[in-house]
């Protein structure tokens, strides 16, 4: 949670909220963060940022709502932690899920064009940073939207993403210490794996409706096809390279696998040679 005046003390460490700018694509914001870390600029005053303040005000509600809907307990609320080796890496946790050890992160987001994928991508650097600092196996992004919706997104620790994140943060922190102007990391980070937790109604989709109808219509025929193919394979002599008859041809590959192809019959009453 932010201090009463809405500002953040950002000297002496890289926190989870900083990771987003370090892994981002905005050079101006990266330079501003660098100047803040060097003490050349005051931290941005967020007391007039309504979205940030709504996030602060709803954080307790967010945590309580998560606990009520999952049955889990969130501890270590607002605990400040330093990485045991990289002391310049720090995290102020919204909490830890006691049952799983996962990092808990509470967010408030506007409902306009909201999607779970976009939310996860927006906060992924912060989540992976915090998981790395406390060696957590997973994280939970608990989101309340302005549309009165609560969303839970589960994220796993991603070793490749965290490696790139650590590389970028080391580079940035070296710039803070030396005074060298930082540049964007410039590498597209992999999209971490999200745990599938949604139940989606696809009824409004016309494409889904057409494909579903085809699936249901052809399901029995497909099952018969697979069973028949397996039985046909048993009838092919073991020393046969090729076998044919009644409109189909079986071919045996060098590895021994048998495949079937339809063949054109010149005369439906004549045997196939």
Residue partners of 15: CB distance under 8 A and separation at least 6: 90, 91, 92, 129
Q: What is the mean pLDDT of residues 178-188?
A: 89
Is pLDDT of 28 > 70? Answer: yes
Report pLDDT for 5. 39
Q: Please name each of the domains of the chain with its CATH number.
A: 16-178 (3.90.320.10), 206-262 (no CATH)
Cβ-contact 106, 63 below 8 angstroms = yes
How many residues does the structure list for the chain? 273
For the chain, how are helix, strand and coil distributed in percent, rounded to 5? 40, 20, 40
Q: How many CB atoms lie within 10 A of CB 162?
A: 16
Band (148; pLDDT cuts 50, 70, 90): confident
Whether the pLDDT of residue 128 is over 90: the answer is yes
Q: What is the DSSP letter of 140?
A: E
| pLDDT on residue 49 | 83
Q: Give the pLDDT confidence of 200-233 residue by residue, as tens digits.
A: 788 889 998 999 999 999 999 999 999 999 999 9
Check pLDDT > 50 for residue 8.
Answer: no
């Amino acid at each position: 949670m932010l201090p009463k005046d809405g500002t953040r003390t950002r000297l002496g460490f890289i926190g989870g909220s900083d990771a987003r700018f370090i892994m981002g694509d905005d050079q101006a914001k990266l330079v501003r963060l660098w100047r803040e870390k060097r003490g050349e600029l005051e931290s941005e005053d967020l007391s007039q940022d309504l979205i940030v303040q709504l996030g602060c005000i709803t954080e307790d509600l967010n945590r309580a709502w998560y606990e009520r809907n999952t049955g889990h307990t969130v501890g270590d609320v607002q605990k400040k932690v330093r990485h045991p080796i990289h002391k310049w890496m720090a995290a102020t946790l919204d909490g830890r899920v006691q049952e799983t050890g996962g990092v808990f992160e509470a967010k408030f987001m506007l409902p306009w064009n909201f999607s779970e994928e976009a939310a996860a991508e927006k906060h992924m650097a912060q989540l992976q940073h915090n998981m790395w600092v406390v060696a957590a196996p997973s994280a939970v992004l608990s989101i309340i939207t302005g549309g009165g919706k609560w969303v839970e997104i589960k994220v796993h620790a991603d070793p490749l993403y965290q490696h790139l994140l650590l590389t970028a943060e080391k580079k940035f922190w070296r710039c803070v210490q030396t005074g060298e102007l930082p540049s964007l990391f410039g590498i597209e980070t992999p999209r971490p794996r999200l745990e599938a937790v949604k139940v989606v109604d696809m009824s409004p989709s016309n494409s889904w409706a057409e494909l579903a109808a085809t699936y249901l219509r052809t399901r029995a025929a497909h099952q018969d096809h697979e069973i028949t193919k397996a039985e046909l394979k048993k009838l092919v002599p073991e020393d046969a390279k090729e076998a044919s008859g009644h409109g189909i041809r079986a071919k045996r590959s060098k590895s021994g696998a048998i495949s079937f192809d339809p063949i054109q019959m010149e005369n439906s009453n004549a045997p196939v040679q």
